């Protein structure tokens, strides 16, 4: 069984950017890779699409169950974009996959947003990578939202009035 904390994935070479105040200690660091070299692919219609693994490490959050390493996701259609001053992570939904398989253009509305950040996405730079990489050794645990689901659900109901996925 693979290590759920994914030390093979959460490495400086996979950092793609951050949200939050990089000069403080509450920024979130985002990671992605192409599942190896050569990259792993999946055939959609008549074209091979590169499979991307993605995840992030959250240092501080109003919900303590959301602090730590995110479970690593995988998709051939992962995207990150800023809108309204906030970063959104998305993958293609079924209509978008069908369009892609048929060779049609895919629109932003064909994506399913699965994570809305609290801030704007900033791409990694040579000048920021060392600062961002400090999070890897500082936050080595999986988010407790995955290891204590009943506690996470109870916290969400109490503070937000609903369960989250």
Flag whether 115 is in a domain.
yes
Full-model pTM: 0.88
The answer to whether 57 and 29 are in contact (CB under 8 A) is yes
Flag whether 57 is in a domain.
yes
Flag whether 6 is in a domain.
no
Flag whether 1 is in a domain.
no
Number of folded domains in the chain? 1
Walk along the chain (165 residues) in steps of 10 and give the mean pLDDT of each run: 79 95 91 86 88 93 89 92 93 88 88 90 95 93 88 90 82
Q: State whether residue 44 is helix, strand or coil.
A: strand
The answer to whether 92 and 112 are in contact (CB under 8 A) is yes
Per-residue confidence (pLDDT) for residue 101, from 0 to 100? 87
End-to-end CA distance of the chain, in Å? 24
Q: State pLDDT tens for residues 117-126.
A: 889 999 999 9
Instruction: For residue 89, give its domain range.
Output: 12-160
Per-residue confidence (pLDDT) for residue 62, from 0 to 100? 87
Q: Hey, which residues does 89 pair with through a beta bridge?
A: 80, 115
């Amino acid at each position: 069984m693979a290590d759920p904390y994914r030390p093979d994935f959460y490495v400086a070479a996979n950092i793609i950017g951050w949200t939050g105040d990089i000069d403080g200690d509450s920024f979130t660091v985002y990671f992605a890779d192409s599942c190896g070299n050569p990259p792993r692919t999946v055939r959609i219609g008549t074209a091979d699409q590169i499979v991307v693994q993605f995840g992030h490490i959250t240092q501080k959050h109003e919900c303590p169950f959301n602090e730590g390493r995110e479970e690593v996701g995988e998709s051939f259609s992962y995207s990150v974009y800023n809108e309204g001053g906030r970063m959104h992570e998305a993958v293609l939904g079924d209509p978008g996959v069908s369009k892609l398989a048929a060779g049609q253009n895919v629109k932003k509305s064909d994506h399913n947003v699965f994570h809305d950040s609290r801030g704007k996405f900033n791409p990694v730079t040579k000048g920021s990578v060392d600062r961002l990489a400090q999070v890897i050794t500082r936050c080595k645990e999986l988010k407790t939202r995955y290891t204590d689901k009943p506690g996470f659900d109870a916290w969400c109901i109490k503070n937000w009035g609903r369960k989250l996925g």
